[in-house]
Amino acid sequence: MPKVSFVKARKLILTVFSISIIFSLGYTLGIKGFKVERNGFNVQISRENPLDKKQIDFSLFWKVWDILTANYFDKSKLSQTNFIYGAISGMVASIGDPYTVFLPPQENKVVEEDLSGSFEGVGIQLGFKGTQLAVVAPLPDSPAEKAGIKAGDFIVGIKDEVKKIDQGTVGISLNEAVKIIRGPAGTKVTLAILRDGTGEPLVFELTRARQDVPSLILSYVGENKDIVHLKLLKFGGETNEEWEKAVLEILKNGKVNKIILDLRNNPGGYLQGAVDVAAEFLKSGSLVAIEEKADGTREEFKTQKIGLLTKVPMVVLINGGSASASEILAGALRDGRKTKIVGEKSFGKGTIQEPLQLEDGAGLHITVARWLTPSGFWVNEKGLEPDVKIEDDSKTTEDEQLNEAIKQLL
């Protein structure tokens, strides 16, 4: 592997983030802070504070604005729109929550592409362990998976020759990292990876490719091929349609009477997707998750349809790449029908982000609540512990975790 210069990064305590839910909710830029009027690409900015912000002193902000505008040597770099986006980004970042982020239009588009399942890149779902950038999960058959990158790897450096970027990742935001790592198919990006058990970073040069990621993969396992192996890769916009087709195929196959629901390396997605899938296995009206807000109020998410697989014996597979909505689903099935969980401890991402669509394609993701399993367990930083723990052995081609799931159903 090529030698690359990277800034050293420390290994920190685990707290993990995965791609959040996207909803189309209205929000008007300017109701708090600046009043912005748009006419084409010209932006007129009023320096008058709103009535409820009269006591806030913005003089230092405007002083810096004016100094930059008057004295910065390269006037082509000065953009009022970017000034505003930068100010908003800084305000949001000051909270110190890596899950609460402002997304300028291009970055917001990238997040939407993730859930659509079609984009160009190396196929890594990114997140954080503590404040260190990490791999939530590599996507199946992606350049990252083929190169050997694993869930839980720390990304301590990124290099892109074309973009002229060669930097460490301490202090980097999720969206900045995605922007650097993603790029046109056929181009290259180099990552320095720190992994448990390795003293020095592992260096991977990856060639970006077109990624068309389905929501699920259906196959049959077991000696008589009578066990459904349903690998759910994400909870995206098209998941429900793909799921319904898979269930119909399962029902048509009369000899199938057992199911393995594989949530390994599933980083999450739409909360409602987890509720819809859970409804297939639980009685109507069953509790799937509890949303608890800052004021202590709670909202319960329950199944609302008659499930077609409620009596089929099943096992759930999880690992360290199972996060967010996949943890919600696994926890609901264990609490609701005593489903056995096999594999490794999940990531432990137990907060809920409310994504808002702003004007001009920008977005704002806000942590608004935490979620609990039906039994009241908060997975954040703890994760779900499997009932049968089987470590992934990378030294063998055998899938020991899947084999154990099959064994549990015999």
**Each residue's pLDDT tens digit, 301-350:** 999 999 999 999 999 999 998 999 999 999 999 999 999 999 999 989 99
Range in 68-82, 125-139, 191-205, 279-293 the model is least confident about: 125-139
Residues in the chain, overall count:
410
* Contact present, 377 and 290 (Cβ < 8 Å): no
Q: Looking at 158, 192, 212, which one is the last position of a domain? A: 212
**139 and 200 part of one domain:** yes
The DSSP element (H or E) to which 84 belongs, if any, is helix 80-93
Q: Per 3-state DSSP, what percentage of the chain is helix, strand, and coil (rounded to 5)? A: 25, 30, 45
364 and 279 part of one domain: yes
Q: Which residue blocks in 117-184 are alpha helix, DSSP H?
A: 143-147, 174-181
Q: What is the pLDDT of residue 396?
A: 63
Of 380, 389, 383, 401, the closest CA to residue 344 belongs to 389
Residue of higher predicted confidence among 228 and 163:
228
220 and 178 part of one domain: no
pLDDT band at residue 141 using 50, 70 and 90 as cut-offs? confident
pLDDT value of position 8: 28
pTM listed for this prediction: 0.68
The whole-angstrom separation of Cα 152 and Cα 231 is 20
Q: What is the pLDDT at residue 44?
A: 58
Q: Is the predicted pLDDT of residue 384 greater than 90, yes or no?
A: yes
Residues 179 and 324 both lie in one domain:
no
Is 389 found in the same domain as 316?
yes
Instruction: Provide the pLDDT for residue 305.
Output: 92
Task: Indicate if 206 and 114 belong to the same structural domain.
Answer: yes
Domain count, the chain: 2
Q: In this predicted structure, what is the pLDDT of residue 147? A: 95
Dihedral over Cα of 250, 254, 256, 258: its sign:
positive
Question: Could you tell me how far CA 315 lies from the centroid of its own chain?
Answer: 24
Please check the confidence at residue 139 and state whether its pLDDT lies above 70: yes
Residue 21 has pLDDT above 50, yes or no: no
Q: Name the band, by pLDDT with cuts 50, 70 and 90, for residue 102.
A: very high
Residue-level pLDDT at 341 = 98
| pLDDT at residue 195 is higher than 70 | yes
Pair 348, 380: CB distance under 8 Å: yes
Calculate mean pLDDT across residues 138-155.
Answer: 89
13 lies in some domain:
no
Residue 314 lies in a domain: yes
Model pLDDT, residue 217:
87
DSSP annotation of 361: G
Average pLDDT, the chain: 83
CATH of the domain at 279: 3.90.226.10
Whether 122 and 235 map to the same domain: the answer is no
Q: Verify that 235 and 201 share a domain, yes or no.
A: no
Of residues 120 and 117, which shows the higher confidence score? 120
pLDDT at 322: 93
Confidence of residue 117 (pLDDT cuts 50, 70, 90): low
Asked, for residue 24, whether it belongs to a domain, the answer is no
Question: Does residue 50 lie in a domain region?
Answer: no
**Do 275 and 176 belong to one domain?**
no
Is residue 404 situated within a structural domain? yes
- What average pLDDT does range 89-102 have in this prediction? 91
Give the domain range for residue 190. 105-212
| Contact of 402 with 262, CB cutoff 8 Å | yes
In this predicted model, which residue has the larger pLDDT, 136 or 16? 136
Residues 329 and 387 in one domain: yes
Identity of the highest mean pLDDT range in 120-129, 198-207, 335-344: 335-344
Q: Rounded to an integer, what distance in angstroms lies between the CA atom of residue 247 and that of residue 228?
A: 10
The pLDDT, as a whole number, for residue 20 is 27
Cα–Cα distance, 201 to 204 (Å, whole number):
10
CATH code at 206? 2.30.42.10
State the pLDDT at residue 13.
Answer: 16
Q: What is the pLDDT of residue 116?
A: 58
Active site residues: 324, 335, 349
134 and 201 assigned to the same domain: yes
Give the integer Cα–Cα distance in Å for 63 and 37. 21
In a domain, 371, yes or no: yes
Q: What is the pLDDT of residue 31?
A: 20
360 pLDDT higher than 90: no
What would the 3-class secondary structure string for 212-275 be? ECCCEEEEEECCCCCEEEEEECCECCCHHHHHHHHHHHHHHCCCCCEEEEECCCCCCECHHHHH
Q: Which of 212, 239, 268 is the last residue of a domain?
A: 212
Residue 88 lies in a domain: no
- Domain end position, chosen among 212, 239, 271: 212
**Residue 184 belongs to a domain:** yes
**Shared domain check, 173 and 232:** no
In the predicted structure, residue 72 carries a pLDDT above the cut 70: yes
To the nearest whole percent, how much of the chain has pLDDT over 70? 86
Alpha carbon distance 157, 166 (integer Å): 7
